Each structure stands twice: as C-alpha cells, then as structure tokens.
Amino acid sequence: MELDEQENFVPYPRRATQEELLQAAIEGDDYSETKAKLKAVGNALAQLIGYFNRDVKRNRELASLASARKFASSYPKAGLRVEALDLDNDKDTPDNTVVYRKNGNIYAVDGFYTAPGFG
C-alpha cells in the first residue's frame, strides 16, 4: 500500500524564503561574463558614436546579401557594391553583408549605417 502512494506522489514546489531570495540576489549569476562583454561592447559603441558625432541607423533592406544586392541594383546611380565577408574570422557565425560606396568606403555592415549626428 505504501508503494502505491509513493508512485502517485506529485511533488509540490516549495516557495523560496526571503533569506534565500536575498542570497540569490547577492550572489553573481551565471551570465556575469556575458553581461560584462555586452557592457564593454555597449561602451565601445557609445564611444564610437560620440567620436564620430553620428547616429547609427538600420536599413533592413541591407541586412541580407540577397536583399542588399536587390537594393544596390534598384539604385544604380549610387554605385553601391555588395560583398559577403567574414569580419570576425569565426567560422561558426554567418558572413557579414558589407555594402561599399563608389569611392570604396564602407556604407553599411549587416544593414547598420551611420547618419548625421544628434540634433
């Protein structure tokens, strides 16, 4: 009889006490390294934006290789050239879509481009 009761037993999750919640908040989480990297990247991006006094915008038509080629062919006077490059040299990530201007300068990377500064 005891075995039947144990087989049908469904554990009820217990609620954490206030002390356990406080301890969990004090302890570092598993994502601290990722958060640190994101913070560093965010700071670097903010410095670049401030240095160039430009805002970063996104054109979704330039995000993928196929749509960027279509965009470049729709505006032939702009003389845009599209390439797929592996900018981070990581074989596990997809190639970046890089759009160049007539003069060879980079116009956009994965759809992100710079626009005139803040106000």
**Which of 110, 115, 116, 114 lies closest to 60 in space, CA to CA?**
110
Whole-prediction pTM value? 0.56
C-alpha–C-alpha distance, residues 66 and 60, integer Å? 12
pLDDT, tens only, 105-116: 888 888 888 877
pLDDT in tens, 36-56: 666 766 666 666 666 666 777
The predicted pLDDT at position 116 comes to: 72
**What residue ranges of the chain have pLDDT lower than 50?**
none
How many angstroms separate the CA atoms of 25 and 22, rounded? 5
What would the 3-class secondary structure string for the chain be? CHHHHHHCCCCCCCCCCHHHHHHHHHCCCCCHHHHHHHHHHHHHHHHHHHHHCEEEEECHHHCCHHHHHHHHHHCHHHCCEEEEECCCCCCCCCCEEEEECCCCCEEEECCEEEEECCC
Ordered by start, the domain boundaries in the chain are 13-116
